[in-house]
Structure 1
Amino acid sequence: MSVQNDDKLPASYKYAWTTRSDISLKDFLTKLALVTAWSLLPVVGVSWTTEFKPSMVQNDGSKPWIWVQGSASEQKIAGAEDKAKEEAAKLLKEVTEKVENIKNDDSIPVRSSKKTGAKSKKEVREQVQAEATEQLKKIATKHGYVCGKWLIFAPADKVDMIWSTIATSLVSGPLHSTSAFLAKVSTSSSDENSRGQHIICVYLPDVYDKPAVTQVMKVLLGKHGATLSGVKADLYTTIGIDSKHPSGIPSTIWKNNAVLSEQEAKDLKDSYFSELATRKSNAPSTEEAPVTNAEPQTAVTGTKSEKPTLKKKGPADPFGSDSDRSMKTKEQPEVVTKLDIEAKKLKLKPKLKKKVDDPFGSEEDDVPEKAKPAAVKSKRTQQSDDDDGEDRPKKKRAAGN
């Protein structure tokens, strides 16, 4: 299969999706297709996967393109391609010879002359090329071979995303409402020196229908932000016209600025990227969402777990309110009072030292330490004196008798 001359969707080709395909377009664009070969292992079978993303498929000569077909297709007149190719190839050969002769004709000046009216080599060459372009258009129109494509460039690191959006748009999006009917993307090159650029082609039934070409261009710019590189006729691809062809014939039927002004094209792309940025900024963050949802739950859970704890610890809370203390004092006066005293001691140590009378203290706390032994001693002395007093009279009575 030739990469350069391939503008037809192969009849049987693994790397192509149509409405008759066994898998959905979404799976074709984003997932792996499962393939099973029972002949390799009759009992269990062997399965493996095939990737259909352009960044993952390497061109070994048998899979240069990945295709997606829209709901409509172009209608070609039987034999039109062969007849158009024959006439166009003959014309191209003649034009190439003319351009070569102009280059080697010394009678044609390198620069134009206003005095003599002589045209420069460049002017003579461009005139021949312009005439050839018109003749090729006549050949294509005569044989009904007027289909072609918008050319789009995509970098390797973004080609999967760009290709997926354009292919989806072709089948069920904005491009579906235009005349575009087919799209393909180049696979990855096996050349290590390749720049990694991919080409995406969006096919049109008639490249000479400017209103239809303009409509597709506006969608590609305004809805996909595509980097366009002109419209090329399939006839040009078939006879081998490219940007390096010796004939010098422009390789595209339409250049971008010939369809829309540079300002219009810029405005469309700017609008697309502005809308894209707005969607991204308004989209909820996958990392922040769980945190936001978890915060109310954490607060409620914490509150519920703290309430019963506070109720249980209420009687032993020295920093409670006055009303709480008054209620707790009625229930447990002794415990609450001691805790209150301890709290006051921490805050009002000087005053507590001076304060001697404590209406809630014990009797021993009210008596100074130095007074305690004396008090105890006096009681014992008094008791011993009383005992002696009781014994003496008895002895006196005994002595009297």
Structure 2
Amino acid sequence: MAEHKKPEVEDAPPQSSSYPYAWSPDRESELSLAQFLTKYKPSMVQDDGTKPWIWARGSKSNSRTDEQAKKEETAVEEATELLKEVTEKVEKIKNDSSIPVRSSKKTGAKSKKEVREAEQAAATEKLKEISIKHGFIGGKWLIFAPSDRVDMVWHTVATSLVSGPLADTSAYLAKVATCPQNETPHYQHVICIYIPDVYDKDAITEILRVLLRQHGITPLGVKSNLYTSIGVDSKHASGIQSTTWKNTAVLPDAEIKALKEEYFSALNAAKEAKKEPSPEKASKEETEAKDDVESSAKPVKAKPKPKLKPKKKAGADDPFASDDDEAGSDDKPAPRPKGNTSKRSAAVANDDSDDEAESKPQKKRARA
């Protein structure tokens, strides 16, 4: 019996509740999804051999029975044997000198590439038959993200799966790779979105449309869980295509581009809308501006000059007031007195200086 990986190793979250890097709805009471995504970021969790993945499960269940698990193991055994045969055939084609490097229209001989691709296509169909026969038809959409973007992409995928657009599709589980044990330049984290049937094209198409239009994410393709279990990847010696669906086999390239353009147009429109004030705020600002213009256009009334208080007659309230103050209040100048004017002037001057001294407050002395 050929050695193989058990399916649950790669494509099912750990069953132990002690594994903290897996979230499901039944953990909501102790840790919300938002808290989980903040606490365990793929760019911050390093795999030490015990935590290669961070998982998030949606509300849908896709549990397997013991009987189903046995069928999947049988499928893995058959697929592993087939893969071994195909790999040997491909190697023989490569070393067969009778097969030309280039095809010939005259002789009808096929090139090495054509012969090899025919074997690989036949193997792909046989793997599909094995999958369907044993009910091992689950798989996942693959997304790759660099370390500086993986947290954002993973947050988008996990949130959408639990309570967003992906929750309305057949997708039920997602995982993201943590950081490798050893520093790897240009490392790409793989994100998997699990689906129950990789051969259900309608369900596959629905998920692709959601990723493109709602999230602006372009996945790499769809891979069968059976392929993962038997070790088929892009570098496998058999040369079998590692994905069961490529994007352009699901949707035309023009539609893929159009969906992404719609996403980014909506995103830019949302950003612009945030910059513009709301109608209520704009109306209020317009009213305030109008009031400012109207108030600036109104003529400014001159303030009335303060009325002068009439002077009181000398002697009425001020016992020290002179007769000159009373005379100064008349329109006509007072007649000049007869007699010795110089003595009278001196006396008046002395009286005026005394009045000035009385009316002015005395300054405090700086020092005694």
Q: TM-score by structure 1 length? A: 0.68
* Contact 1:153-1:228 at 8 Å conserved across structures: yes
Once residues 78 and 19 of structure 1 are traced to their aligned partners in structure 2, the CA distance between those partners, rounded to angstroms, is 24
Percent identity reads 55
Cα distance, 1:247–1:127 mapped onto 2, change above 3 Å: same
Q: Deviation per CA, 1:326-366, whole angstroms, max 9, x where unpaired?
A: 5x33xx468xxxxxxxxxxxxxxxxxxxxxxxxxxx959x9
**SS of the counterpart of 2:194?**
strand
Cα distance, 1:135–1:248 mapped onto 2, change above 3 Å: same
**SS of the counterpart of 1:164?**
helix
Quote the residue 1:107 is aligned against: 98
**Shift, 1:3, TM fit:** 12
Quote the residue 1:395 is aligned against: none
Once residues 194 and 301 of structure 2 are traced to their aligned partners in structure 1, the CA distance between those partners, rounded to angstroms, is 82
Once residues 113 and 242 of structure 1 are traced to their aligned partners in structure 2, the CA distance between those partners, rounded to angstroms, is 32
Within 5 Å, give how 1:213-362 maps onto structure 2: 213-283=204-274, 321-322=301-302, 324-325=303-304, 328-329=306-307, 332=308
Once residues 266 and 191 of structure 1 are traced to their aligned partners in structure 2, the CA distance between those partners, rounded to angstroms, is 37
Quote the residue 1:11 is aligned against: 15
**SS of the counterpart of 2:183?**
coil
* Contact 1:5-1:237 at 8 Å conserved across structures: no
Is residue 35 of structure 2 the alignment partner of residue 27 of structure 1?
Answer: yes
* Contact 1:4-1:237 at 8 Å conserved across structures: no
Within 5 Å, give how 1:27-176 maps onto structure 2: 27-30=35-38, 51-76=39-64, 77-176=68-167
Q: Deviation per CA, 1:95-153, whole angstroms, max 9, x where unpaired?
A: 00000000000000000000000000000000000000000000010000010000011
**Shift, 1:20, TM fit:** 1.6
Cα distance, 1:212–1:325 mapped onto 2, change above 3 Å: same
* Contact 2:216-2:260 at 8 Å conserved across structures: yes
**Number of residue equivalences:** 300
* Contact 1:63-1:187 at 8 Å conserved across structures: yes
The amino acid across from 2:177 in the alignment is S
* Contact 2:7-2:72 at 8 Å conserved across structures: no
Q: Which runs of 5+ in 1 are unaligned?
A: 31-50, 304-319, 335-361, 368-374, 388-401
Higher mean displacement: 244-253 or 165-174? 165-174
Give the aligned CA root-mean-square deviation in angstroms: 3.3
* Contact 2:7-2:226 at 8 Å conserved across structures: no
Cα distance, 1:96–1:223 mapped onto 2, change above 3 Å: same
The amino acid across from 2:34 in the alignment is K
**Shift, 1:284, TM fit:** 5.3
Quote the residue 1:349 is aligned against: none
| Larger relative contact order (CA 8 Å, sep ≥ 6) | 2
Cα distance, 1:157–1:333 mapped onto 2, change above 3 Å: farther
Moved over 4 A (4+): 1-5
Once residues 61 and 224 of structure 1 are traced to their aligned partners in structure 2, the CA distance between those partners, rounded to angstroms, is 32
